[in-house]
Amino acid sequence: MEKGKIIELLNLDIQDEHGAIIQYLTHAYAMGEGEMACEIEAMAREEMRHLDWLAETVVELGGQPSLKRGTMNMAGKTVPDWMRDDVKLEEGAIENYKKHIELIDEPKIKRLMKRILADEQAHHGKFEHLVEKAQKEGLKDIRGDRKDSVAKTLNWGIEHEYTVVLQYLFHSYMTGNEEAKKQLEDQAINEMQHLGWLAEEMVDGGGSPRIEHARPDQSTRTADMLKADIKIEKQVAEAYERAAREVDDAGLKELLIRIRDNEKYHIEVFNDLLEDEEDKKSPGTGLNIGDSGE
């Protein structure tokens, strides 16, 4: 199979993993704290790992990982319905991975996809069990319809965090700077934590998290990536600062300040990386040593 076709198939799988992550997190947040929510979040983290493996493979083949989100099934009205929807999502993933394993003739990639397929088959069985568990325990959707200024602030934060998770992951895949890659991955993980904190705060406060994102920066030169990352971090640190001053709830104020301080840390990390990157410029060429020609 031609390399371009393999990249196309892998990007379809990346999109499906992306959709599964958001579907599962939405379901986990909507039922609140508890053993079942933890089980679902654990499976979402495994889907994140799959996405990461697939994206790295796409880059190794000379492509760019897709940031599109695959189809989600969010029609269920009850927790057992959600789990049935998750079973169906896994059935689709299993079918697609089996097809792609047959189509792709590169041994290393086939091996990776078989590894992912084994996880999807395990997830399928777990979600079937969770259908019964949800029915037995009478679990409910605990989200509310809060739509005040606090809910608006929280959903703004969720959108930002989701956006930069995608942005930093994309940058980490595309950079040829190993230290930048590591730091971008670390900060993406931290932003994912922020998203979870804000979504849980929203549900606890009687709201419903809106897990959508804005357009992530997709620069492919390391210096351009870092400049974009610094810019968005400065903007959002100031926004969290303003939001913290405006809220009355002490617990929410503390959370917003904590996230603000994390964002300030990201700015310092990215500034250091940018300074190092610019120091690597070879006199007379303008090319960055260690950059993969982005």
pLDDT at residue 96, rounded to an integer? 97
**Separation of alpha carbons 7 and 181, rounded Å:** 21
User: Is there a single domain that holds both residue 19 and residue 114?
Assistant: yes
Residue 211 in 3-state DSSP? coil
Q: Are residues 131 and 170 in the same domain?
A: no
Residue 105 within a domain: yes
Do 118 and 173 lie in a common domain?
no
132, 243: one domain: no
Angle at 109 between CA 180 and CA 39, to 5 degrees: 70
In a domain? residue 271: yes
Domain boundary among 72, 107, 142: 142
Q: Would you state the pLDDT for residue 290?
A: 47
* SS3 at position 168: helix
Tell me, yes or no, whether 241 lies in a domain.
yes
Same domain assignment for residues 3 and 119? yes
Nearest-angstrom CA–CA distance, 192 and 270? 18
Residue type, 275: E
Residue where a domain stops, chosen among 114, 142, 170: 142
Exposure of 247 by Cβ count < 10 A (0-12 exposed, 13-18 middle, 19+ buried)?
Answer: middle
Model pLDDT, residue 292:
47
The answer to whether position 181 is within a domain reads yes
Does the predicted TM-score (pTM) go above 0.95?
no
User: Which stretches of the chain drop beneath a pLDDT of 50?
Assistant: 284-290, 292-294
Q: Tell me, what CATH number does 50's domain have? A: 1.20.1260.10
Residues 166 and 132 in one domain: no
> How open is the CA angle 192-194-196, to the nearest 5 degrees?
75
Phi, psi of 63 (to 5 degrees): -105, -175
Domain contains 291: no
153 and 279 share one domain = yes
Residues 278 and 150 in one domain: yes
**Within a domain: 208:** yes
> Range of 48's domain?
1-142
pLDDT reported for residue 1: 87
Check whether residue 105 and residue 151 sit in a common domain.
Answer: no
Predicted pLDDT of residue 117: 98
C-alpha separations of 179 from 176, 186, 272 in Å: 9, 11, 11
Return the pLDDT at 280.
81
Domain final position from 99, 123, 142? 142
Residues 99 and 205 in one domain: no
pLDDT of residue 279: 87
Whether the Cβ atoms of residue 280 and residue 290 lie closer than 8 Å to each other: yes
| Placement of tokens 């994102």 in the chain | 213
What is the reported pLDDT for 283? 54
Q: Are both 134 and 149 inside the same structural domain?
A: no
Longest dimension (CA), the chain: 70
Residue 279 resides in a domain: yes
Same domain, 1 and 138: yes
- Contact by Cβ (8 Å): 148, 108: no
Does residue 293 lie within any of the structural domains? no
Total number of domains in the chain: 2
**Residue closest to 200 by CA, chosen among 18, 62, 25, 7:** 25
